[in-house]
């Protein structure tokens, strides 16, 4: 079995999870919903701690939460909306920037989050734009925006989008998102009991599938206009399944990197699994969590 490659921990960044909402439509605290046999907030913090050196949970003043491997901070004024949560979370965070999310988004896509954080170098905010809406609670914010967020709170402007025109904002388009999260599950919020039931069903289906990430190099990356593509595949999947799924997701690669049959690479390309072994047989089995690198055969040796 090939070892699983884990995303490197981002030392200069924090994960900020907002848990202080009223949960009025759900009828019970969303942070405490059972998900994969543990409270939802525990599920989310554990996933993000695998990527970030620090997790900050922002809760309401009297809110009860289970023990968490995170820094717990309280809203100084309850129910100030997303801007309040973002402000108090970033204020407490030690990282240069923070990835901000909410406690009701269970489908944590680390590849997408890694891509979002990789875009912050020349910006103050990196925010996805999905289904014609900004997604401010799945975005990256520099701590340098704190004074502007404070001013928004003082003016009663409780929507994060008021910030975006005032700072250097990188808008992540839907095409970019779909390469890593085809269904946009990163933005699946559990606001109602029906949403919760649907999330549980989706989770069970995902547990029965295999996931991997393909990283492209050289001409393949230039053609695809992206570095990474995440794939969900059936159990017992092989490299042939990977190439076919990649051809469907990035059709520009067909005929130039992937053969027209969709199940193999052009002779000028090779692939490496987890940075360890160069594999040429399309029938080679892959494991969930594998990272597959596609590069020119000359570069691959």
For 38-85, how does the pLDDT look when each residue is reduced to its tens digit (9 = 90+)?
A: 999 999 999 999 899 899 999 988 899 999 999 999 987 777 889 999
1 located within any domain: no
225 in the same domain as 188 = no
2 located within any domain: no
CA 267, chain centre distance (Å): 33
149 in the same domain as 294 = no
96 in the same domain as 25 = yes
- Tell me what the mean pLDDT of segment 218-236 comes to: 89
- Tell me what the mean pLDDT of segment 123-141 comes to: 97
Tell me the pTM: 0.75
231 in the same domain as 196 = no
142 located within any domain: yes
Q: How many domains does the chain contain in total?
A: 2
3 located within any domain: no
**What are the pLDDT digits (tens) for 151-172?**
999 999 989 999 999 999 999 9
- 161 Cβ contact list (under 8 Å, min separation 6): 134, 136
Question: What are residue 138's phi and psi, to 5 degrees?
Answer: -150, 50
pLDDT of residue 223: 93
215 located within any domain: yes
CATH number of 265's domain: 3.10.20.30
176 in the same domain as 43 = yes
Last residue of a domain, one of 154, 179, 206: 206
Question: Would you say residue 210 has pLDDT above 90?
Answer: no
pLDDT of residue 3: 34
Show contacts of 276-284: CB within 8 Å, 24+ apart.
276/2, 276/3, 277/2, 279/239, 281/239, 282/238, 282/239, 282/240, 282/243, 283/238, 283/239, 283/240, 284/238, 284/239
pLDDT of residue 6: 40
Last residue of a domain, one of 206, 233, 253: 206
CATH number of 57's domain: 3.90.550.10
142 in the same domain as 97 = yes
Q: What's the Cα-to-Cα distance from 120 to each of 90, 202, 228, rounded to whole Å?
A: 15, 31, 17
127 in the same domain as 155 = yes
pLDDT of residue 1: 30
**What are the pLDDT digits (tens) for 7-46?**
455 778 999 999 987 788 898 889 999 998 899 999 999 9
149 in the same domain as 104 = yes
214 in the same domain as 196 = no
Distance CA 87, CA 58 (A): 10
Averaging pLDDT over each range in 7-16, 97-106, 200-209, which range is the top one? Answer: 97-106
Last residue of a domain, one of 206, 221, 249: 206
170 in the same domain as 33 = yes
Structural domain harbouring 179 = 10-206
Instruction: Name the nearest CA neighbour of 109 among 187, 25, 215, 196.
Output: 187
Mean pLDDT over the full length of the chain? 89
227 in the same domain as 187 = no
Instruction: Name the nearest CA neighbour of 89 among 105, 107, 70.
Output: 70
109 in the same domain as 130 = yes
How many CB atoms lie under 10 A from the CB of residue 274? 17
């Amino acid at each position: 079995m090939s070892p699983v490659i884990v995303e490197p921990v981002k030392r200069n960044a924090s994960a900020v999870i907002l848990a202080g909402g009223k949960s009025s439509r759900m009828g019970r605290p969303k942070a405490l919903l059972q998900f994969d046999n543990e409270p939802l907030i525990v599920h989310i913090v554990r996933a993000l701690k695998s990527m970030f050196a620090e997790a900050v949970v922002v809760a309401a003043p009297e809110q009860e939460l289970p023990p968490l491997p995170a820094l717990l901070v309280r809203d100084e004024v309850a129910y100030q909306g997303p801007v309040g949560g973002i402000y108090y979370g970033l204020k407490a965070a030690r990282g240069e920037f923070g990835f901000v999310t909410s406690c009701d988004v269970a489908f944590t896509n680390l590849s997408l989050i890694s891509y979002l954080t990789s875009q912050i170098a020349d910006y103050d905010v990196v925010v996805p734009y999905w289904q014609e809406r900004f997604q401010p609670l799945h975005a990256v914010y520099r701590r340098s925006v704190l004074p502007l967020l404070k001013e928004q709170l003082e003016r009663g402007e409780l929507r994060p989008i008021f910030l975006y025109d005032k700072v250097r904002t990188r808008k992540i388009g839907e095409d970019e998102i779909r390469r890593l999260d085809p269904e946009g599950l990163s933005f699946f919020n559990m606001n109602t009991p029906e949403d919760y039931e649907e999330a549980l069903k989706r989770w069970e289906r995902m547990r029965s599938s295999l996931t991997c990430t393909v990283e492209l190099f050289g001409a393949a990356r230039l053609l695809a206009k992206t570095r990474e593509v995440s794939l969900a595949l059936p159990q017992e999947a092989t490299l042939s399944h990977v190439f076919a799924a990649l051809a469907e997701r990035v059709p520009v690669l067909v005929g130039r990197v992937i053969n027209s049959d969709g199940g193999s690479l052009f002779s000028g390309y090779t692939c490496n699994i987890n940075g360890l072994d160069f594999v040429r047989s399309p029938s080679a089995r892959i494991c969930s969590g594998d990272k597959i690198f596609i590069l020119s055969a000359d570069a691959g040796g």
